[in-house]
Structure 1
Amino acid sequence: MSAQSWLTAQPIAHRGLHDMNKVRWENTLSAFQAAIDGAYAIECDVHLSSDDVPMVFHDHALRRLTGQDGTIAGKTAAQMGALKVGDTADHVPTLREMLALVAGRVPLVIELKGSDGHDDALVARAVEALDGYSGPVALMSFEHRLVRQLARLAPHLPRGLTAEGLSVEAIEAHFSMLAHDLSFVSYAVTELPNPFITFVRERLAMPVITWTVKDQKSADHTFANADQITFEGFVPLVS
């Protein structure tokens, strides 16, 4: 199956199939298992720990998700793994733990989170973690420097640009990234349509997914202008 076909084949659960952090929290093994059970693809976020281990976690700071002070870049993988997410029994997983759980059962879209001064090895470490993983997986980032590294270090994997913005400057910057062999784009749903997305879909036949879709109206808007949703907080209706 081509990257384009699997990437757009089923809705993508944003940070796993969580319940807006009421009982089942984002980017946890519980949220990923729920997505698997629902036959949804999974989007997740990855940062590096202080000892260069890819950890599945969204924020730079720890407070919102763990109640602790500090940053992920200031903690080792062991220290991060000892933290509980919210008031749950879930710990902060490594990327390898998440991959072992998913085991190719649903597609994965992994966003690499930029952190100035702390992400020099992020692409390389993520690609290492994925070595030998046989399920459908793609990598993407907002950070252009990381996307450029992906083209060099992960030529065998689908690579995407996560993007937003409608200004001339933003659109021109996105166009400049087409020189780095993108496989897909993930764009803010509220900023469609726009010239960049129209060009990549109609002229390049490149798949476009959207973020973050929180209701059926936004899902419908996606399918009028793009190819698949990254959703949270509701159960999408799909044809």
Structure 2
Amino acid sequence: MGDFSWLTAQPIAHRGYHDLNKQCWENTLSAFAAAVERGFAIECDVHLSADRVPVVIHDDNFQRLADRDGFVWQRTAAEIGAMKVGGTADHFPTLKETLDLVAGRVPLVIEVKGTPGHDDGLVESVGRLLETYDGKVAIMSFDHWLIRDFARYAPGIPAGLTAYGKDNQLIEAHFSMLAHQIDFTSYAAGDLPNPFVSFVRDRLKMPVITWTIRDQPAIDLTFRYADQMTFEGFDPATMRIA
């Protein structure tokens, strides 16, 4: 296993450094610029557009973020990019725009979001963009079928399992993903501790980051059982809540 100390060196801004979608919205270039300015790593989410372009958006539809109908996979990247997020001047960026903005100044953790039946080529498209990216970057996913594509289409890129849960069935499913060359895990803080996280951290020396941290008790939980937090709604440097 390589040196992934950079992955846990600084707090990771969940969907960028936004203010809980009051003025600066999640997964926008403004939120990413704010994270870069403060020296935080960035977590972002990526779906595949109708024309096979990785676009940065958490949901598989536009209702919550743009008050528009339709799914991401039904729209081209240009159509998606023309939509304004939350009535602000920000648009839904492509992953390429995000990479160009961050430009290696802080680490970037990309969560690849699958949509069954509509995500063929997603990992390949992301991997192709990352081939020439000059910066610290990792990919991760909840979706096991996408993780199985990581080694083939994004070789050399640190790969993670995004996960949650404490029940035996989920824990067993998480253990099964160790066969697919994962390098770290991003785990729901409220589900710590658990046998999977304890095993990969203590026995495999695998980095563990948590999501999504919003208050001091969750911070304490993170640094008792994991190595770094993915946070939102406050500034870890001051603990000021947004």
TM-score with structure 2 setting the length: 0.96
Matches within 5 A, 1:1-239: 3-237=3-237
In 2, Cα distance between equivalents of 1:22 and 1:225: 32
Q: Which digits, 9 at most, give the CA deviation of each residue in 1:167-221, with x for residues without a partner?
A: 1100000000001111100000000000000000110000000000011220111
Q: CA RMSD in A?
A: 1.0
Q: Which digits, 9 at most, give the CA deviation of each residue in 1:16-37, with x for residues without a partner?
A: 0000000000000000000001
Q: Alpha-carbon deviation of 1:155?
A: 2.2
Question: Which sections of structure 1, spanning at least 5 residues, go unmatched?
Answer: none
In 2, Cα distance between equivalents of 1:28 and 1:215: 23
Q: Alpha-carbon deviation of 1:152?
A: 1.9
Query: Does the CA-based 8 Å contact 1:3-1:158 persist in structure 2?
Result: no
**SS of the residue 1:22 aligns to:** coil
The range that moved more, 127-136 or 141-150, is: 127-136
Query: Does the CA-based 8 Å contact 1:216-1:237 persist in structure 2?
Result: no
Query: Does the CA-based 8 Å contact 1:219-1:236 persist in structure 2?
Result: no
Query: Does the CA-based 8 Å contact 1:56-1:93 persist in structure 2?
Result: yes
In 2, Cα distance between equivalents of 1:51 and 1:72: 10
The range that moved more, 146-155 or 29-38, is: 146-155
Q: Alpha-carbon deviation of 1:3?
A: 4.6
Count of residue pairs brought into register by the alignment: 237
Question: Which sections of structure 2, spanning at least 5 residues, go unmatched?
Answer: none
Q: Which digits, 9 at most, give the CA deviation of each residue in 1:146-183, with x for residues without a partner?
A: 01100222221100000011111000000000011111
In 2, Cα distance between equivalents of 1:36 and 1:18: 12
Is the alpha carbon distance of 1:237 and 1:217 closer, same or farther for their aligned partners in structure 2, counting shifts above 3 Å? farther
Q: Alpha-carbon deviation of 1:131?
A: 2.1
* Residue identity opposite 2:236 in structure 1: P
* Residue identity opposite 2:58 in structure 1: H
* Residue identity opposite 1:207 in structure 2: P
In 1, Cα distance between equivalents of 2:114 and 2:160: 14
In 1, Cα distance between equivalents of 2:203 and 2:152: 24
What percent of counterpart residues are identical? 62
* Residue identity opposite 1:193 in structure 2: P
* Residue identity opposite 1:55 in structure 2: V
TM-score with structure 1 setting the length: 0.97
In 2, Cα distance between equivalents of 1:91 and 1:233: 21
Instruction: Provide runs of 4+ in structure 1 moved above 4 Å.
Output: none
In 2, Cα distance between equivalents of 1:179 and 1:164: 18
In 2, Cα distance between equivalents of 1:125 and 1:51: 11
In 2, Cα distance between equivalents of 1:73 and 1:152: 23
Q: Alpha-carbon deviation of 1:87?
A: 1.2
Query: Does the CA-based 8 Å contact 2:128-2:154 persist in structure 1?
Result: no
Q: Alpha-carbon deviation of 1:237?
A: 5.0
